[in-house]
Amino acid sequence: MKMGTGQLASLLASGFKGKVYPVHPTESSVLGLTAYPDIVSVPETPDLVVLVLPTDIVSRILDECGKAGVTAAVVVSGGFREIGGQGVAKEAELVEVARRHGITLVGPNCIGVSNFHIGLNTTYFPYDHEPGGITVISQSGTNSCHIYEYAKNHAIGLSHTVSVGNSALTDISDYLAYFADEPNTRAIALYIEGIADGRRFLEVAGNATRKKPVVALYVGGTGAGARAGMSHTGALAGDDALYDGMFRQAGVMRCYSMEELLDWTWALSLSPLPSGKRVCVLTNAGGPGASMADSCIREGMQVPVLSEALQSSLRAILPYTAATANPVDMTFLMDFNALYHEAPRILMESDEVDAVVMYCVFGANLFRTLMEALPGRIDYEMEKYFPFVMELLAKLAAMPQQYGKPLILSNFWGTQDNAPRFMAANGVPVYLTPERAVSAMAALCRRSDIVAGIP
C-alpha cells in the first residue's frame, strides 16, 4: 500500500506496452516482475525513471541514474523546498545533479505523469476510461490524479496529466509550451498555486492559446490560498488582480472551481465554437428549460425569440402543448424522431441560432426501474424501441460537426443512463445540471471571442 507499489500497480493496470523494471534494494521480484538492486543492474537504459525514495538519498540515486545514461526522471519524494530550511538546500543539490547529467526532471514532491494514449500512468491512482483530449497540468498532485474516477463517472476523456510538484527544474510554462503542440491534446487545464516567472508564462500562454483553449484555476490570490500553496509546493502566489490581468492578456480563460475547470475543458475539447451568442434552449421539461434560459442571459448570451416561420416549422412536428418561441419546450413527447432528430435538426439548420443547449435525452434507466419494480405487470419492449432510439441519437451526436454549431446537453441522471452516456462517448458533453451545461456553453462563446481577438 506504499506509494511506490501503488504507482507501479497503476502503470501495469493501465496496459503500458513498454518494458518496466522495478528497482529495489532487497526484493528479487515486485508485482510479478523481476526486480533489480540498482539502476546499473537494469538490462537497458530506461527512457524514464520514477523515484520514490527517502529524501536524503534522492540526489545520490539520481546521480547514479545520470551516470547510467538516464535523461528523464520523475521525483515523487517530498521534503524539499516546500518544508523550508534544509529542504531548500536538498532541492538545490537535486537540481545541480539533474543539470550536470542533462536530465529532464519533473518534481520533486509530485505524484507523477500520465499519457493515456499509450497506457502510461505513473501516479498512485488507476485510470479506467477511454483517453480523450484534455490535458491537466497541476501544481497539486491530488488535482492531477484523484480526478480520474470523477472523469470516468462523467465520461470525460483525459489525454495527459502532469503533477509538477515543486517545479525545481521544469515548471508549468515548460509543460504548457509542450502541450500546445502535442497532437492528442485539444484543451489544456491548469491548476495554479503560483507562478515564479510571470513574464515567461505570459509569453508561453499567449502562444499556446493561439493554438488551443487553455483554462486556469488559480488559488493563490487570497491570503489563505497563498499560505496553503507555500506549504504545499513552495509556490509563490501573487495578487489576484495581477493574475486575472495576466490570464486575460494571454487569452487564458479563468475559472473558479475544479468543477468548472473540467466542465469547460471537456466542452472545449469536443465542440465546435459558436459563431455568435444566440442560443436556443430545447427541452421537454419546463423547469430545466427556464433555468437554462435564465443562466444564458446571466452568462452574457442571448435567447432570441424565434421567427414565426421557424416556430411554424417546429409546431408542425410537436404537440399542441409545445412552446416554440425560445425556449422550445416540447413538453412530454414520446415521438422519438421529433424529439431527438427533427426538432434539433430544424434548429441547427436555422440561421437564427448559433448554438443549442438541450434537456431531454433519456435512455433506458427510467423504464428499466419501473419494470423491475413491477415485474410481470409492465413491459416497455425496450428491445423493440431502443435500437431505433440509439440510431436517432447517433444522428443527433453528429449534428454539431455536421452544422458547425455546438450542442450541450443536461440530464440529472448523468452518464449512468445509457442515452446520455452514448452521447458523451460520441462527442457531445452531458452535464448533471442545466446551469453547468450553460456555463460550458458560455466557455465556448468566450473561446470564440478569444479566437476572434475580442477582449
- The residue type at 286: G
Distances 18 to 24, 70, 130, 159, 163 between C-alpha atoms, Å: 19, 16, 19, 18, 22
DSSP assigned state of 23: B
What distance in Å separates the CA atoms of residue 441 and residue 77, rounded to the nearest whole number? 40
Radius of gyration of the chain (CA): 25
Confidence at residue 381, expressed as pLDDT on a 0 to 100 scale: 84
Strand partners, 138: 163, 191
pLDDT value of residue 210: 98
Grid-cell match 451545461, residue found: 437
All three cell numbers of 338: 421529433
Residue with cell 495554479: 192
User: What does the pLDDT look like over 265-274, one tens digit per residue?
Assistant: 999 999 999 9
What's the confidence (pLDDT) of residue 226? 53
| Highest CATH level, class, for 279-452 | alpha beta
Fold agreement between 113-270 and 279-452: yes
Spatial distance between the Cα atoms of 64 and 57, rounded to a whole number of angstroms: 11
Summarised one tens digit per residue, pLDDT across range 373-426 is 999 998 888 888 888 999 999 999 999 999 999 999 999 988 889 999 999 999
Cα separation, 181 vs 164, whole angstroms: 19
Q: Is 172 exposed, middle or buried, given 0-12, 13-18 or 19+ CB atoms closer than 10 A?
A: buried
Phi then psi dihedrals of residue 40, to 5 deg: -65, -30
Q: For residue 355, what are the β-bridge partners?
A: 279
Distances (CA, A) of 314 to 134, 143, 409: 36, 45, 20
* Distances in whole angstroms, Cα of residue 307 to Cα of each of 135, 258, 293: 41, 39, 17
Per-residue pLDDT, 235: 57
Q: Using CA atoms, how far apart are residues 244 and 222, in angstroms rounded to an integer?
A: 13
Q: What values do phi and psi take at 260, rounded to 5? A: -65, -40
Position 231 scores a pLDDT of 52
Share of the chain residues as helix, strand and coil, in percent rounded to the nearest 5: 45, 15, 40
Q: What is the pTM of this model?
A: 0.94
pLDDT of residue 430: 97
> Which pLDDT value is given to residue 413?
87
Domain boundaries of the chain, sorted by first residue: 3-106, 113-270, 279-452
Q: Are 352 and 409 in contact (CB under 8 A)?
A: no
| Three-point CA angle 62, 118, 429, nearest 5° | 120
CATH 3.20.20.140 is the classification of domain 113-270: no
Low-confidence ranges of the chain (pLDDT < 50): 229
Q: Which cell numbers hold the place of 177? A: 509550451
Q: Does domain 3-106 have CATH number 1.10.645.10?
A: no
